Structure 1
Amino acid sequence: MKKQAIEQTQFNEIKELISNYAISNTVKTRIIELEPISKIEVVRKYQKETGEALAILETKQSIPFMASEQIDRLFEKIEKGYVLEPKELLEVSEFLRTIRKLKEFFHKNAELAPTLAVSASKLQSFRSIEETINISIKHNQVNSEASRDLKKARQSIQKYKSDINDRLHKFINNAGNKSKIQEFMVVDRDGTLTVPIKSSFKHSIKGRIVSESGKGSTVYMELDNTRELNQKLQMAQAEEMSIVYQILANLTESIATELETMKKTMNIIFSLELIVAKAKYSEEINGKKVNINDTGYIRLVKAKHPLLGEAAVPLSIELGETERGLVITGSNSGGKTVVLKTVGLLTLMTMIGVFIPAETTSHISVFDHILVDIGDYQDFDNALSTFSGHINNMREILTTADDRSLVLVDEIGSGTEPTEGAALATAMLESLVNRDAVVLASTHYGEIKDFAVKDTNFITAAMAFDKETLNPLYQLLMNEVGASNGFWLAKKMNIGEEILERASYHLSKNN
């Protein structure tokens, strides 16, 4: 699908809105990168999935997804050979729990969403790894019950600390030592339990200076009668660290052995999350499931432009079964461009599996190509006029268009001398329908209107206009020809009777 069609129909804006319903950044990115699919069997599958997700949403159940970016990062760490920290292992455990919960959720809703339930049934369960992590890690640290040796090491640590504290507090509470002590407390300095001693008394205390305060007024001393206990404490702590590392390494290894399977499982979750995001957006715009074909037949019944909200006027249009071309006429600012964008946008939305704001009796065709010429192509850098830009774009459209193409052209032939522009526009329209492309074009040129009325390959439609208020009604009237309303508008705007009379003279003279 050409980038120009994506941009000019505002399809990118639709994808941005859909991505807001995704939880994971990975899924948000996938939505932004979604490409319309022209294979009808794939589109019907997408539509079926969206319908099933909508059926679940209507029950107001909460689908247990979780953001998975952190898991991606943790998987990368494992692949690089890192050992996960306790907090990281708990995050993996929570992810594994999410897999289990999602599988249970869709199994429970299999009757409502059979296709999604089949996808969810492929989610691999890792209950054993999940439970082992949860037993081994508590409160973001390795649980003592994870290993008999760890429990023993930690008991030794507690005993040594208690014995050291007893001896140090005995020293602190000794009346003869009070004048030598800077602070009456036990302080851990670099893993050694010490007493803060006034610097002037450091040589009168039996012990080892572990460190000094910044100003040098305090020294932190390990007493001689605690040195052996401190050494035993440090050995026990080293043993604890070794055991903890081994437990973390073993848990990380258990994940590593299943890493590829976990990644595949994550991709299934991402796919389910994407489907639900499309369903949530479909629900937001009151989207309905419509009939889908690949023959070019378009029949929209009370369709609305999804980006216009409450301001959108329902549109009904039919094209592509017998006549392949539609020429929309009417005054400027009457909504012709909105009609073209609505048809293109709803087609693109259908092709990615989003339900559209239209009646269920509507029909949408999928296309290999959606070719668009909407907007101003003036290019000052390349010295291209607006007309040159349109012609350049039409050349590309004419090169690509075939019987599997939808062509949307706004104000075809405009930007140059009207007679020449109309003649070129007529020839281009003829060429496009002769290739059996489905064509929607807007114009206010009388010659193009006349051509569309006479050619059996075309039908006409007009944009309704309130002559009393000068306001466009934004309503498409099929099988009608609209006036440009230039004279009427000029009169209402008090351009002057003399000007209107002269304009009428010139018009009749030209005719």
Structure 2
Amino acid sequence: MKEQEAKTEQRKVNGDYDFKQTLKLLDFDEIKRELIEYAISEEVKDNMANLEIHKDYYLITRHLRETTEARAILDVAGTVPLHSLSGIKQIIEKLNRHEILRITEISSLSLFIKDTSKMRSFMLERVENTSSVSNYALGIDLLTAVYDELTRCVNTDQIDDNASSLLSKLRKRIDITEHKVKLKLQDYLIGSKFQGMLTDPIISQRDGRFVIPVKSEHKRNIEGLVLDRSRSGGTVFVEPAAVKKLSDELAQLRIDEENEVYRILSELTNLLASHKIQLYRNYEVMVTYDFLFAKARLSRKYQASPAEVSQNGRLKIVEGRHPLLGAQAVPLNLELDHKNRNLVITGPNTGGKTVAMKTVGLFCLMNQAGLHVPCGKETALPIFDKILCDIGDGQNVQQNLSTFSAHITNIIKIMAQADNRSLVILDEIGAGTDPSEGMGIGIAVLERLNKKGAYILTSTHYNEIKAFADRHPDFKNGSMAFDLKTISPLYKLNVGKSGESNALHIALRIGMPEDLISRAHEIAYKEQHDYSDFNASYERALTASEAEVEELLSESAEASEVVSANVSGHVSEKSSKNKVESQFAPRKISPYKEGDAVYITTMNKNGIVYERENAKGDVGVIVLGKRIKVNYKRLKPFIDSSELYPEAYDLDIVFESKENRKKNKLITKGKGKGLVIEKKGNQ
């Protein structure tokens, strides 16, 4: 029983990834809502609510080309003669069912035919014939003869008197007979014989017959038929016997008129039914134009342009702006391809990592839906069969899943479906649990997705994942710029350089005690660092000239205490005399050994260790062809020597000149009498 429950639970976890969730997470649903606002017809609005994400290269390029042409037409003309299409499809369907149309429905089709003719003229007169958008207008049938007959017979939702000679005669006789009836009734209103018998001197109608209002007590004094009475009972409405014959004649004339109108409606319906194929084709063309110009209006709102549909896997975004951020959007520049398809983005919270990743995913969705994206020229986007996302909290209270569990459940589904035609976006991978385990899970997931050939965009605060991306040939780092002076993010992505979360610097700048920050640094980075002079030196570094910065970077580690101030490259100068270290702090021997590749934080350069740490804590490093001594605190691990060189590799090949190696070989053989090996010192 327990085994069965476990299998059921596993099936839930391994269920299909919800693509609708991707559309929501990447804000594509919001884009659709704005697009729907620009559509006129209800059918197009419904179609846009289920806007398809295409995967065929030629279909996507065709849709994008049409959007581009529609935008060009809109930019020149300003407006386009579209029709609301309200109820038109339903009226045409009534023709298929052989139902007689009402007068209002015939009027609607008459106006529709007129507007389709306007659209045809507009497109063919103002747009080049080479345009595929203008070519749709060639499918519009003018239906001139039909329109002329409809307008002859129907006038402002009424059948015109001249629709037929019989109808014209009937309506003339109706007018004459009505006039005779009213003249006779006037005798009752103004005649002295009936004074005081009437409630009001007016003529009204009941069931299409003319009556006069008579007081109840006098109803027997006027010969006629009572057709109605007031609610109070004080008034009865009498059709006098003197007008009954004329009223009967009038009623018959109206029946004859109604029959003739029905006959005319039948003829007009049959006329329209004989052209229902052309009407439906015209309707489809107008639906297409409504859709195209809605996309064009959205493109104009976003100041967007078409992206190239890449067939070689190149993903390049130039000056891309998230469409929903408007003028607040900071341009995004990014380039990935099959060889460098994975990006790990680092930086402080609320620094724009998630927005940058969502912009990439949203652009791909919009592009494959035939929409323009707000970007610069040379932007190119590949076609993805699947875009898989794990963004946000994702906590599910109903299913009793924690944030971490919800993320892992989603990631399992993503890994099951990802392939080399997928874009995977993972926000804060491995977060929500023990940092060491979360980091391990994060790297393992990235390795698995990479083996599947997926494009990966992920954000992280884990230094180990940053280091993984630095080492792995299929990954590269990126960071979100941050201004420590204003303690605010710049929302700019710098590709090729990992960033820091800047939590300690931010906490210090807003007032946390310096000794507490120093202790936090020691715990986090397993090294001591003095922040006592940070604020003053930071201000100096921010205003330092480029020449002063270069001078600071050129000094050796023994003569300078230069630390990185932020991810944008500012530096902060510190004086070693202000350095305070606890006398009880254990002395740590740095792990760096000969052959290790290290990162020198003071110079923003990589180097190779040629000499282990000495008593002063300085490590010998070869950087830019020079041998210098760098304090171990200014180094970070990059690549272990075991990964750089084969086992038992002679490191003298790396560290010693060819001449010294020859001398050493002769001395080893006992043939080096008088030879001196000169070692290069610090330079």
TM-score by length of 2: 0.71
Residue 399 (structure 2) pairs with residue 399 (structure 1): no
Q: Which residue of 2 aligns with 1:416?
A: 433
Residue 181 (structure 2) pairs with residue 164 (structure 1): yes
Q: 1:498 aligns with which of 499, 510, 515?
A: 515
CA separation of 1:459/1:183 partners in 2, compared to 1, >3 Å: closer, same or farther?
Answer: same
Q: Which residue of 1 aligns with 2:290?
A: 273
1:134 positional shift: 1.4
Q: 2:225 aligns with which of 196, 199, 208?
A: 208
The residue identity in structure 2 corresponding to 1:255 is: L
Is the 8 Å Cα contact of residues 73 and 127 (structure 2) preserved in structure 1? no
1:156 positional shift: 1.3
Residue 111 (structure 2) pairs with residue 69 (structure 1): no
- 1: CA distance between counterparts of 2:366 and 2:252? 66
Q: Which residue of 2 aligns with 1:6?
A: 23
Name the SS of the counterpart of 1:495 in structure 2.
coil
CA separation of 1:490/1:218 partners in 2, compared to 1, >3 Å: closer, same or farther?
Answer: closer
- 1: CA distance between counterparts of 2:525 and 2:158? 92
CA separation of 1:295/1:93 partners in 2, compared to 1, >3 Å: closer, same or farther?
Answer: same
1:207 positional shift: 3.5
Residue 294 (structure 2) pairs with residue 309 (structure 1): no
Deviations 1:134-172 (A, max 9, x none): 111123211110011111111111222222233333454
1:112 positional shift: 7.6
Is the 8 Å Cα contact of residues 342 and 476 (structure 2) preserved in structure 1? yes
The residue identity in structure 1 corresponding to 2:506 is: L
The residue identity in structure 2 corresponding to 1:459 is: K
- 2: CA distance between counterparts of 1:356 and 1:433? 28
1:509 positional shift: 3.8
Is the 8 Å Cα contact of residues 329 and 336 (structure 1) preserved in structure 2? yes
1:224 positional shift: 3.4
Is the 8 Å Cα contact of residues 89 and 283 (structure 2) preserved in structure 1? no
What is the aligned-residue identity percentage?
A: 33
Q: 1:447 aligns with which of 449, 457, 464?
A: 464
Name the SS of the counterpart of 2:76 in structure 1.
coil
Q: Which residue of 2 aligns with 1:286?
A: 303
CA separation of 1:406/1:295 partners in 2, compared to 1, >3 Å: closer, same or farther?
Answer: farther
1:73 positional shift: 3.9
Question: Which deviates further from its counterpart, 223-232 or 169-178?
Answer: 169-178
Residue 259 (structure 2) pairs with residue 231 (structure 1): no
Deviations 1:422-465 (A, max 9, x none): 22222222222222221111111111111111111112211111
- 2: CA distance between counterparts of 1:200 and 1:390? 88
1:22 positional shift: 0.6
Is the 8 Å Cα contact of residues 53 and 369 (structure 2) preserved in structure 1? yes
Residue 90 (structure 2) pairs with residue 59 (structure 1): no
Is the 8 Å Cα contact of residues 55 and 112 (structure 1) preserved in structure 2? no
The residue identity in structure 1 corresponding to 2:315 is: I
Name the SS of the counterpart of 1:460 in structure 2.
strand
Question: Which deviates further from its counterpart, 363-372 or 494-503?
Answer: 494-503
Name the SS of the counterpart of 1:383 in structure 2.
coil
Residue 239 (structure 2) pairs with residue 222 (structure 1): yes
1:80 positional shift: 5.5
Tell me, which stretches of 5 or more residues in structure 2 are unaligned? 1-17, 528-589, 591-683
CA separation of 1:74/1:497 partners in 2, compared to 1, >3 Å: closer, same or farther?
Answer: same
Q: 1:253 aligns with which of 270, 274, 285?
A: 270
Q: 1:147 aligns with which of 156, 164, 184?
A: 164
The residue identity in structure 1 corresponding to 2:445 is: M
Q: Which residue of 2 aligns with 1:244?
A: 261
- 2: CA distance between counterparts of 1:174 and 1:497? 111
Is the 8 Å Cα contact of residues 377 and 390 (structure 1) preserved in structure 2? yes
Question: Which deviates further from its counterpart, 238-247 or 158-167?
Answer: 158-167
Q: Which residue of 1 aligns with 2:442?
A: 425
Name the SS of the counterpart of 1:195 in structure 2.
strand
Q: Which residue of 2 aligns with 1:26?
A: 43
- 1: CA distance between counterparts of 2:245 and 2:390? 87
Name the SS of the counterpart of 2:220 in structure 1.
coil
Name the SS of the counterpart of 1:69 in structure 2.
coil
Residue 382 (structure 2) pairs with residue 365 (structure 1): yes
Q: Which residue of 2 aligns with 1:134?
A: 151
Q: 1:191 aligns with which of 195, 208, 213?
A: 208
Question: Which deviates further from its counterpart, 362-371 or 381-390?
Answer: 381-390
Q: 2:493 aligns with which of 468, 476, 481?
A: 476
Q: Which residue of 1 aligns with 2:280?
A: 263
Is the 8 Å Cα contact of residues 390 and 425 (structure 2) preserved in structure 1? yes
CA separation of 1:179/1:4 partners in 2, compared to 1, >3 Å: closer, same or farther?
Answer: closer
1:357 positional shift: 1.0
Is the 8 Å Cα contact of residues 336 and 442 (structure 1) preserved in structure 2? yes
The residue identity in structure 2 corresponding to 1:208 is: L
Deviations 1:34-75 (A, max 9, x none): 021111111110110011011111113421112223223434
CA separation of 1:199/1:81 partners in 2, compared to 1, >3 Å: closer, same or farther?
Answer: farther
Tell me, which stretches of 5 or more residues in structure 1 are unaligned? none
Q: Which residue of 2 aligns with 1:295?
A: 312
- 1: CA distance between counterparts of 2:234 and 2:98? 46
Is the 8 Å Cα contact of residues 313 and 474 (structure 1) preserved in structure 2? yes
Question: Which deviates further from its counterpart, 381-390 or 21-30?
Answer: 381-390
Is the 8 Å Cα contact of residues 294 and 367 (structure 1) preserved in structure 2? no
1:79 positional shift: 5.2
Name the SS of the counterpart of 2:77 in structure 1.
coil
Residue 114 (structure 2) pairs with residue 97 (structure 1): yes
CA separation of 1:491/1:144 partners in 2, compared to 1, >3 Å: closer, same or farther?
Answer: same
Q: Which has the higher contact order (CA 8 A, sep 6+)?
A: 1
Name the SS of the counterpart of 2:123 in structure 1.
helix
The residue identity in structure 2 corresponding to 1:298 is: L
Question: Which deviates further from its counterpart, 366-375 or 386-395?
Answer: 386-395
Q: Which has the larger radius of gyration?
A: 2
TM-score by length of 1: 0.94
The residue identity in structure 1 corresponding to 2:309 is: I
Is the 8 Å Cα contact of residues 106 and 113 (structure 1) preserved in structure 2? no
The residue identity in structure 2 corresponding to 1:28 is: K
User: Which structure has greater helix proportion?
Assistant: 1
CA separation of 1:393/1:200 partners in 2, compared to 1, >3 Å: closer, same or farther?
Answer: closer
Name the SS of the counterpart of 1:209 in structure 2.
strand
- 2: CA distance between counterparts of 1:278 and 1:472? 33
CA separation of 1:451/1:152 partners in 2, compared to 1, >3 Å: closer, same or farther?
Answer: same
Deviations 1:237-292 (A, max 9, x none): 11111111221222233333433543343222112211111111111111012221
- 1: CA distance between counterparts of 2:297 and 2:483? 37
Report the count of equivalent residues: 511
Name the SS of the counterpart of 1:59 in structure 2.
helix
Name the SS of the counterpart of 2:38 in structure 1.
coil
CA separation of 1:440/1:157 partners in 2, compared to 1, >3 Å: closer, same or farther?
Answer: same
Name the SS of the counterpart of 2:87 in structure 1.
helix
CA separation of 1:497/1:186 partners in 2, compared to 1, >3 Å: closer, same or farther?
Answer: closer
- 1: CA distance between counterparts of 2:503 and 2:290? 52
- 2: CA distance between counterparts of 1:379 and 1:211? 68
Residue 47 (structure 2) pairs with residue 47 (structure 1): no
- 2: CA distance between counterparts of 1:297 and 1:252? 57
Question: Which deviates further from its counterpart, 411-420 or 268-277?
Answer: 411-420
Is the 8 Å Cα contact of residues 52 and 112 (structure 1) preserved in structure 2? no
- 1: CA distance between counterparts of 2:489 and 2:329? 13
Question: Which deviates further from its counterpart, 247-256 or 454-463?
Answer: 247-256
1:120 positional shift: 2.1
1:179 positional shift: 4.2
The residue identity in structure 2 corresponding to 1:467 is: L
1:132 positional shift: 1.8
Q: Which residue of 2 aligns with 1:375?
A: 392
Name the SS of the counterpart of 2:492 in structure 1.
strand
- 2: CA distance between counterparts of 1:112 and 1:442? 49
